[in-house]
Amino acid sequence: MISTNSVPHTPLPVGSEPAQFDLMTYLAERRTQVETALEQSIPIGHPEKIYQAMRYSVLAGGKRLRPILCLATCELAGGTVEMALPTACALEMIHTMSLIHDDLPAMDNDDYRRGKLTNHKVFGEDIAILAGDGLLAYAFEFVAIKTQHVPASQLLKVVARLGHAVAATGLVGGQVVDLESEGTENPTVEILNFIHTHKTGALLEASVLSGALLASAPETTLQRLSQYARNIGLAFQIVDDVLDITATKAELGKTAGKDLQAQKATYPSIWGIEESKRQAQSLIDAAKAELAIFGDKARPLIAIADFILARTH
Ligand code: GRG
């Protein structure tokens, strides 16, 4: 495996260097667009409490990785940010609802998320469950009624892909195997991979593919993007597991060291930290190689892959 830092670099003639792509500026701009759209997406209605609970978690921050991936692949495939914003918001609603439910006492029983008290700690378990349900249903409504300039046939494919990512074929299935594997001695890498390709990978893949579907990308592009997404999805989780050991609560915005405490099987518990980092690097290299064919158009997605590896929270 070759590290990106060690690739031999042939200097280009003066004046012909490609313009630098500034990921931090790109992410900040996209985040602002997503935050503005999310802020407007859930107006307070009646009964006020449930709207407040939904808004509390959706507007609590977060990296907004899934919406940004959706916007990036839509643009890569020739579409616009405007076409993809409703789906981008829906992805964040779905992601947030999965966090709300994951934090419940019946699941991971967490008190902090995104640097704030978890939804059930503020609103109670009953409302937190309903806030999750409300967000999930609203995400699909939002895509269906707010998306513009996209053929209905493509929109239908997006809706199907979102459903597939949430259902037993995705997040729900991954969560069930995760719950079942708790307390299991020595779960295998295959079980870990199943859990995380479903719990984490499925929605990341849906984020990447939905943007491209909105822009009516051809099948060959979808296949490459799907492979990119699967690789970054697994790398994302390996990094997450490493950060659970190496990062602080302040950096993570949630309880650190939870996996160790719960004696949960993780990639570092099987491979150790250094090998886990090597595996993540190799997945990121493979993800980036998938996109080489797209040239400069893939720069945001390539930079996001690097960001996933280098992130500290
Ligand atoms: C979807 C119907 C339905 C039920 C939910 C609870 C559950 C079933 C699934 C758990 C899904 C889950 C919480 C997966 C973990 C995904 C993950 C790595 C979250 C952290 O993502 P980041 O780092 O978080 O992108 P931010 O806060 O930055 O958005």
Q: What is the pLDDT of residue 313?
A: 72
- Burial degree of 218 (CB within 10 A; 0-12, 13-18, 19+): exposed
Cα 293 to middle of ligand 1, angstroms: 31
Cα 19 to middle of ligand 1, angstroms: 35
Q: What is the pLDDT of residue 7?
A: 30
16 pLDDT above the threshold of 60: no
Cα 267 to middle of ligand 1, angstroms: 18
In this structure, what is the dihedral angle of CA atoms 212, 214, 220, 222, given to the nearest 10 degrees? 50
Q: Which domains does the chain have, with CATH numbers?
A: 23-310 (1.10.600.10)
Q: What atom of ligand 1 comes closest to residue 200's alpha carbon?
A: 16
Cα 114 to middle of ligand 1, angstroms: 12
Q: Which residue minimizes the CA distance to atom 26 of ligand 1?
A: 62
Q: What is the pLDDT of residue 6?
A: 32
DSSP string over 42-94: S---SSHHHHHHHHHHHTS----HHHHHHHHHHHHTT--HHHHHHHHHHHHHH
238 pLDDT above the threshold of 60: yes
Mean of all residue pLDDT scores within the chain: 91
- Burial degree of 43 (CB within 10 A; 0-12, 13-18, 19+): exposed
Cα 82 to middle of ligand 1, angstroms: 25
Q: Give the pocket of ligand 1 (CB within 6 Å).
A: 62-63, 65, 95, 98-99, 101-102, 107, 114, 136, 166, 171-172, 175, 199-200, 240
| pTM (two decimals) | 0.91
